[in-house]
């Protein structure tokens, strides 16, 4: 069957700045499409950094590193309108500009908005801010977020440590 409009529109807009993996000769993808983040490895930015930065833009992370290592699998649905698709694509294009800032040396490879993402309220509002970018850049990367911010619940966690050391904060359930 031919692809749906959502499956062609988003990768077409993003392919100018990102490598869209597994696209056919006509540019079509399956019901999902994959953005390859390997081209950013030379500045130590990976799919996790991009996915975590999406939280600062108010989006949940897409599937990471599957089926292609260091990639994002994005599955647009027909229930999303063009305005929401544009908002998501614009966020990714803005993130691509942030990657470019690191590539051009404007921000250090080990201390930039991507490798430190996401930026929660406690981090942004703390008394101490020793990052090379502004609090505003961290929290409000696009203008509309100044009036409609959905804050990430926490800043970046050590995922490997968390996977190996589960801590349950749920209340104990008493069995009678």
pTM, two decimals, is 0.87
Do residues 19 and 98 touch, judged by C-beta distance below 8 A?
no
- With vertex at residue 92, the alpha carbon angle to CA 46 and CA 63, rounded to the nearest 5 degrees, is 55
Which residues are 63's β-sheet partners? 73
Do residues 58 and 149 touch, judged by C-beta distance below 8 A?
yes
- With vertex at residue 91, the alpha carbon angle to CA 90 and CA 93, rounded to the nearest 5 degrees, is 60
- Measured between alpha carbons, how far is 80 from 131 in angstroms, rounded to an integer? 36
Model confidence at 3: pLDDT above 70: no
Higher-confidence position of 156 and 2: 156
- Measured between alpha carbons, how far is 170 from 118 in angstroms, rounded to an integer? 24
For the segment 85-122, what is each residue's pLDDT rounded down to a tens digit? 899 999 999 999 999 999 999 999 999 999 999 999 99
- Give the pLDDT score at 108: 98
Local confidence band at 6 (pLDDT 50, 70, 90 cut-offs): low
């Amino acid at each position: 069957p031919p692809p749906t409009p959502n499956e062609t529109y988003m990768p077409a807009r993003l392919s100018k700045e990102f490598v869209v993996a597994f696209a056919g000769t006509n540019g079509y993808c399956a019901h999902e499409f994959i953005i390859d983040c390997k081209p950013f490895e030379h500045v130590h930015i990976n799919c996790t950094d991009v996915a975590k930065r999406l939280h600062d833009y108010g989006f949940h992370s897409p599937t990471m590193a599957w089926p292609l290592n260091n990639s994002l699998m994005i599955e647009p649905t027909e229930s999303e309108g063009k305005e929401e698709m544009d908002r998501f694509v614009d966020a990714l294009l803005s993130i691509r500009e942030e990657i470019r800032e690191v590539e051009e040396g404007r921000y250090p490879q080990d201390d930039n908005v991507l490798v430190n993402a996401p930026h929660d309220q406690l981090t942004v509002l703390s008394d101490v801010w020793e990052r090379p970018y502004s609090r505003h850049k961290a929290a409000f990367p696009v203008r509309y977020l100044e009036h409609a911010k959905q804050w990430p619940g926490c800043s970046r966690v050590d995922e490997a440590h968390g996977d190996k050391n589960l801590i349950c904060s749920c209340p104990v359930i008493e069995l009678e």
